[in-house]
Amino acid sequence: MSASFSHAGIFVSDLELMASFYQRVLGLTETDRGVLNGADIRFLSASPAEHHQIVLVAGRPREPQFNPINQLSFRVADLSALRAMLVTLRDEEDVQSISPVSHGNALSIYFPDPEGNRLEVYIDTPWYVAQPLRVEVDLDRPEDDIWRDLESAVSDLPGFVPIADWRTAIAKRMQS
């Protein structure tokens, strides 16, 4: 069997607030809505090829003991789009904490949604870098400086290779 990730569902306390946030901040579109087993549900997607990528389901307790969601991650096209997201987040009153970081293999912005679920918006870099790795990055610097400094910071780390080489090697491992 081979499976690929498709979508995630999240129980939420305030369905209207959360649906508005995901649509406004991440540009998702409501594709459907309804009620199932007494719970209001919203289906959201950023791709016409996917009926839904996020499902928001009413019913989360206001004061949960523990949030089992580590993060939900959204890929954007390029550094320009990532920087535009940073501007959007800085203007968003529902976002209390913004953390731009480099993982070597990705440039990311972490932030919470209004109910405290950690979100990541990111771009891939052209390199594989062993994980975990997390270093703060200033996305307000000139683009050429960001790329030059990032490559300089990670190129000497153990396992550093161009991403195409890593993908070839991991594909061979997955076939065995």
Give the residue-averaged pLDDT of 84-88: 96
Q: Are residues 36 and 101 in the same domain?
A: no
Contact 23, 29 (CB under 8 A): yes
pLDDT digits 0-9 by tens, 50-79? 889 999 999 888 776 777 788 999 999 999
Percent of the chain at pLDDT > 90 equals 73
Q: Are residues 51 and 75 in the same domain?
A: no
> Rounded CA gap, 171 and 34, in Å?
40
Q: Which domain holds residue 124?
A: 71-176
Q: Are residues 47 and 5 in the same domain?
A: yes
Helix, strand, or coil here: 125?
coil
The DSSP bridge partners found for residue 119 are 72, 111
Per-residue pLDDT for 98 more than 90? yes
- In single-letter form, the type of residue at position 37 comes to N
pLDDT band at 3 (very low <50, low <70, confident <90, very high): low
The domain that contains 27 carries what CATH number?
Answer: 3.10.180.10
Q: Are residues 80 and 167 in the same domain?
A: yes
- In single-letter form, the type of residue at position 99 comes to S
In a domain, residue 66? The reply is no
Q: Are residues 31 and 80 in the same domain?
A: no
Structural domains of the chain, count: 2
pLDDT band at 1 (very low <50, low <70, confident <90, very high): very low
How many whole angstroms from its chain centre is CA 14?
21
Q: Are residues 56 and 89 in the same domain?
A: no
pLDDT band at 136 (very low <50, low <70, confident <90, very high): very high
Q: Are residues 34 and 111 in the same domain?
A: no
Q: Are residues 92 and 157 in the same domain?
A: yes
- Domain final residue, candidates 61, 82, 112: 61
* pTM, 2 dp: 0.84
How many whole angstroms from its chain centre is CA 84?
15
The domain that contains 135 carries what CATH number?
Answer: 3.10.180
Per-residue pLDDT for 158 more than 60? yes
Give the residue-averaged pLDDT of 26-39: 92
